[in-house]
Amino acid sequence: MADEAMPFNCRRKSFVKPRTDCAGEYPGRVWNKKSIYPDWIFIRDVLYRMNGMEKIMECISISFRSAPEETRKRFAFPAGETGVKERTAFLEEAGEAVLLSTCNRTEVYAAGEGSFGRLEELLSEKSGMPSTQVKQLARRFVGEKACAHLYRVACGMDSMVVGEDEILGQVRAAYLFSSERGFCGYELNTVFQGALACAKKIKTETLLSKTSVSVATLACAEIFRFAKLRGKAAALPDGSGKAADGEAGPSESKTAGEKADQRALEVLLIGGSGKMGGSVLKNLLGREGIHVYATRRSHGLGEREGGRLSIVDYRDRCRFLERADVIVSATESPHYTLTAGETEKYLKCSGAEKPRLFIDMAVPADIDRQIASLPGCRVLGMDDFERLAEENNRKKQQAVLDAETLLTEELEELYKTLLFHETAGQLDRIRERFAGYSAERFLFYLKDRLDAASLKAVLEALKEETGEGADCRQA
């Protein structure tokens, strides 16, 4: 059939083209834009409305929204070589899937439908919990809702700290892990690449992530608040240590040496070479009046040892408990870095019972919560950061609304891309089937098969093409 005789002005044989803005990062990415191939818009939208959204993906989620820290840690996958082996083994059983495991969530995104039973059994084996208990904890998302959930997660809109930056990198890493090992097909590739692109767009076009807040910055804010209450030099950014109005400053009767000891905040950072610990370290060293003792195992920290940073061997960490005002632990170890028994032993030997703040930023937990029962000791864990994040989340409500608008637009394009992909291989048959149809006959064909809402949408699209909108575009 000659091009001129094709119905609906369908003269192009290709309807997708590679994205040029991220082709290097995500090879093979395809994207639909109305401005790229306008001749295909009519038939694409008709197919979209006739097919309906298939169950292209399912998601099972166990996060801070459904489970406390003590439960979440049982579903967490470790880092390092052990973690790689565990993740790979899990995905081999899960099939075509992406596994996302962070301190606040473990989620599995599986292609197709009917995967929940298999995934619940796998998570049951991982956690050692009965599958019936896993069913009670897990949140499930199907089809469009699964896609929307992933987009919200990648954009930081579903995070404990709304707008935090770390999750985007974690989603990217989870996707690439599966993609590089052959666990992703067209649907998962398209959905995850779309989610990552959407997250970048929201990050640049809204205020959601303009003020960077994360669990690390919240932890540092709590450290600075503790310093203020203790009258330490780190209470103010300039390190002046000047007490706030109405608060008593350090006693002027002390000697100069005693004053210096009282006003300096000493922090023991266990796990300073990791990503979370590195963020904490950077924030702490950006504030005057703080001395950090950071542990390392076999590799060094990003920052060099200097006047306000001392590198200590991990095995010697307990020796620094006596002098530390704040103890932060942010490792990926499956074991406690500090237990109540050894902490009590070292503090008793020192004879010191000054107030101390312990901050645990790990899942599974690094710090034994029983330490909170020791004299002067307060322990903050991951669950406590949900409360600390409330003010940040309240301030970002307008940014969330702006991001929701962009997210909805991006999801609509994603759904069209996926739906049209399902029918792309049948376009020749469609052309042949409707070759002799007039426009009027084709509309009656649609009238007999679409519900009122779908038919109205198609007719509105046609009116836009033939009415004032088309005139404006031609002009």
The backbone region for 81, taken as left when phi is positive above 0, alpha when psi lies in -120 to 50, beta otherwise, is alpha
Is pLDDT of 76 > 60?
A: yes
Is pLDDT of 128 > 90?
A: yes
Residue type (1 letter), 298: S
Number of structural domains in the chain: 3
Question: Considering the domain boundaries, does residue 3 fall inside one?
Answer: no
Same domain, 240 and 155: no
Question: Considering the domain boundaries, does residue 430 fall inside one?
Answer: no
Question: Considering the domain boundaries, does residue 9 fall inside one?
Answer: no
Is pLDDT of 407 > 80?
A: yes
Same domain, 221 and 367: yes
pLDDT at 275: 79
**Per-residue pLDDT reduced to its tens digit, 434-472:** 888 888 888 888 888 888 888 888 888 888 777 654 454
Same domain, 286 and 270: yes
What is the chain's mean pLDDT, rounded? 78
Same domain, 187 and 266: no
Report yes or no: 64 and 105 within 8 Å, Cβ to Cβ. Answer: yes
CATH of the domain at 146: 3.30.460.30
Same domain, 115 and 143: yes
**Per-residue pLDDT reduced to its tens digit, 243-263:** 333 333 333 333 333 343 456
* Alpha-carbon separation of residue 98 from 175, 188, 193, 355, 430 (angstroms): 6, 8, 12, 44, 34
Same domain, 194 and 269: no
Looking at the DSSP bridge assignments, the partners of residue 369 are none
**Per-residue pLDDT reduced to its tens digit, 41-60:** 445 444 444 444 445 789 99
Is pLDDT of 138 > 60?
A: yes
Report for 87-91, 221-225, 235-239, 274-278: range of highest mean pLDDT: 87-91
Percent over 70 (pLDDT), the chain? 75
pLDDT at 304: 56
Question: Considering the domain boundaries, does residue 432 fall inside one?
Answer: no
Count of residues in the chain: 475
Neighbours of 136 (CB within 10 A): 11
Q: What is the mean pLDDT of residues 393-407?
A: 87
CA atoms of 115 and 168, how far apart (whole Å): 25
Question: Considering the domain boundaries, does residue 323 fall inside one?
Answer: yes
The backbone region for 143, taken as left when phi is positive above 0, alpha when psi lies in -120 to 50, beta otherwise, is left
Same domain, 374 and 469: no
Question: Considering the domain boundaries, does residue 18 fall inside one?
Answer: no
Is pLDDT of 265 > 60?
A: yes
Q: What is the mean pLDDT of residues 58-67?
A: 94
Mean pLDDT lowest among 38-42, 204-208, 392-396: 38-42
pLDDT at 246: 34
* Alpha-carbon separation of residue 265 from 149, 260, 317, 385 (angstroms): 42, 10, 17, 22
Same domain, 223 and 301: yes
Same domain, 409 and 449: no
Q: Which two tokens stand for residue 209?
A: 């992530």
CATH of the domain at 220: 3.40.50.720
Is pLDDT of 475 > 80?
A: no
Question: Considering the domain boundaries, does residue 26 fall inside one?
Answer: no
Domain span at residue 452? 437-475
Same domain, 365 and 335: yes
Question: Considering the domain boundaries, does residue 38 fall inside one?
Answer: no
Is pLDDT of 235 > 60?
A: no
Is pLDDT of 6 > 70?
A: no
Model confidence at 269, pLDDT cuts 50, 70, 90, reads very high
Same domain, 278 and 162: no
Same domain, 148 and 79: yes
